[in-house]
């Protein structure tokens, strides 16, 4: 296989993964319309965007977009993806992405994560434990 063919094939595969993952995240909204209307309402203005930059190992939000690493997202099962997705939606709603005056950015992000997780537990949701720290680190990058 030539180098050009190889690059085209990888690009096509990557694009399909990106599109499939963005579509899966968008479909979560339809599920929440029937099961979690508040989360669905909060998700409404957020645009899901695939970011393949290595600085984004998982997913994050800037309050307007939910930015996902599609390769990482593809490793999640449906339940895990929805937990992370809902977690990020509530971060966007809380405004946790805004600049803050804390001297310890890492601890501030962890405090935000714990606050969101407490809300999700009260709403009967799950907590994406495996990504709490990773998501905090990713949100510092963008």
Rounded Cα gap, residues 49 and 69, in angstroms: 9
Looking at beta carbons, which pairs linking 50-54 to residues 24 or more positions away fall under 8 Å?
50/18, 50/19, 50/21, 50/22, 52/14, 52/18
Q: Does the pLDDT at position 114 exceed 70? A: yes
> Could you tell me the pLDDT band of residue 38, with boundaries at 50, 70 and 90?
very high
pTM for this structure?
0.75
> What is the reported pLDDT for 131?
47
Give CA separation, 67 vs 8, 9, 59, 142, in Å.
24, 24, 5, 10
């Amino acid at each position: 296989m030539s180098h050009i063919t190889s690059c085209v094939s990888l690009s096509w595969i990557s694009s399909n993964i990106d599109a499939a993952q963005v579509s899966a995240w968008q479909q979560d909204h339809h599920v929440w319309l029937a099961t979690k209307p508040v989360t669905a309402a909060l998700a409404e203005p957020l645009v899901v965007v695939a970011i393949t930059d290595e600085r984004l190992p998982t997913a994050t939000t800037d309050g307007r977009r939910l930015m996902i690493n599609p390769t990482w997202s593809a490793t999640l099962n449906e339940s895990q993806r929805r937990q992370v997705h809902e977690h990020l939606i509530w971060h966007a709603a809380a405004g946790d992405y805004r600049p803050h005056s804390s001297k310890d950015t890492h601890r501030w992000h962890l405090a935000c994560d714990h606050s969101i997780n407490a809300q999700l537990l009260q709403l009967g949701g799950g907590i994406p434990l495996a990504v709490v720290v990773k998501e905090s680190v990713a949100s510092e990058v963008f």
